Structure 1
């Protein structure tokens, strides 16, 4: 049966065109991999385009969730109840008569007055927010390289998971991570100019109320969207 005309040799693409199309496709795929896929999936942004498009933060959250899930699974496998060995009570030693001696009289010593404690400086910023079960949020300080900020945060209603990290100037860093922590305080020194702060997640079955206080050398405290 007659269906369609067979293409002539002149209508077929040449070998050079096929090679050129293949190279162009490979270049486009590589560009998308570096600028879109790597920042959005793995928080890897060698070009900085992912940060501008808001994809790197998405990748950081995905990596945080993956790490938390792996840690939860490892904790469940390691939670094996310990078996304690029962020991028979040791026989009581016979009591011996001890001659009582009069206790010496000790004159009370006059305590030296304690030095007055230096007053702690007031906090510059204080935020209070609620995290529902499974919810996570992020607060960042805008800081210059080498700047130091003091902080104190507490979780009311149950401990939380946290990740203290920073990003900016095409760089990213993780300072500290914790699981099941109810309170933390200390100083945060910016490794580079950018945003530095905390990601909190509530892994409890009930709401928790977070209180975060900061002071020091930084521009502003802001909640990342």
Structure 2
């Protein structure tokens, strides 16, 4: 005896599968992978701690503990590890017209990056991008157009962590990783 599946049954099964996948995405995958928990169920199940543990994969080391290097004439070396498939942001507090000289390079792989600044006290989410590109190195200097936080967002599109060596000098205070 042969069974044939009707189009109506296939449509119902497809719709049901899509609904189940959407529920799994919102309740399990987003909280566990990205610490996004719109329902609150991920926190109750302990899934958001998995995403937070992934965030701790980001490694930062500096060549000295002095975070107030305003006017420093020596380069400060900072190493940031950008986890596979993730993005990190590293920022500095700068006053309007403060200057910074910088150079950064990766351990080989190119990263998508956005050098940008956010005005001090702004609550709208506004930011101004100075450079957006994909590269494994960048060298230059800039003058902060406004008081606020300025720095880089690096996105690693590869399946391996990428180390960034950042050298900076100038008029700034280190904010560090922005989560």
TM range (shorter): 0.5 to 0.7
| C-alpha contact 1:148 1:217 (8 A) present in aligned 2 | yes
| C-alpha contact 1:141 1:221 (8 A) present in aligned 2 | yes
Instruction: Describe the SS at the equivalent of 1:220.
Output: strand
Q: TM-score, normalised by structure 2?
A: 0.54
Deviation digits for residues 155-198 of structure 1 (CA, Å, limit 9, x no counterpart): 1131100001100232521111012x010010021110000010
Residue 86 of structure 2 is matched in structure 1 by: 135
Residue 144 of structure 2 is matched in structure 1 by: 190
Residue 130 of structure 2 is matched in structure 1 by: 175
Name stretches of at least 5 consecutive residues in structure 1 with no aligned partner.
1-120
Instruction: Describe the SS at the equivalent of 2:173.
Output: coil
| Structure in which a larger fraction of residues adopt strand | 2
Output the CA distance in 1 between the equivalents of 2:143 and 2:80: 24
Residue 98 of structure 2 is matched in structure 1 by: 147
Instruction: Describe the SS at the equivalent of 2:127.
Output: strand
The Cα RMSD (Å) is 1.5
The Cα of 1:219 is off from its aligned counterpart by 2.2
Output the CA distance in 1 between the equivalents of 2:131 and 2:175: 19
| C-alpha contact 1:157 1:206 (8 A) present in aligned 2 | no
Residue 27 of structure 1 is matched in structure 2 by: none
C-alpha change, 1:182 and 1:145, in structure 2 (3 Å) is same
Map 1:16-95 onto structure 2 (within 5 A): none
| C-alpha contact 1:136 1:199 (8 A) present in aligned 2 | yes
Between Structure 1 and Structure 2, whose CA radius of gyration is higher?
A: 1
The Cα of 1:220 is off from its aligned counterpart by 2.4
Higher relative contact order (Cα pairs below 8 Å, separated by 6+ residues):
2
1:199 aligns with 2:150: no
The Cα of 1:135 is off from its aligned counterpart by 1.2
Deviation digits for residues 15-51 of structure 1 (CA, Å, limit 9, x no counterpart): xxxxxxxxxxxxxxxxxxxxxxxxxxxxxxxxxxxxx
Output the CA distance in 1 between the equivalents of 2:111 and 2:174: 24
Residue 122 of structure 1 is matched in structure 2 by: 74
1:166 aligns with 2:121: no
Instruction: Describe the SS at the equivalent of 1:154.
Output: strand
Output the CA distance in 2 between the equivalents of 1:157 and 1:205: 14
Aligned length: 103
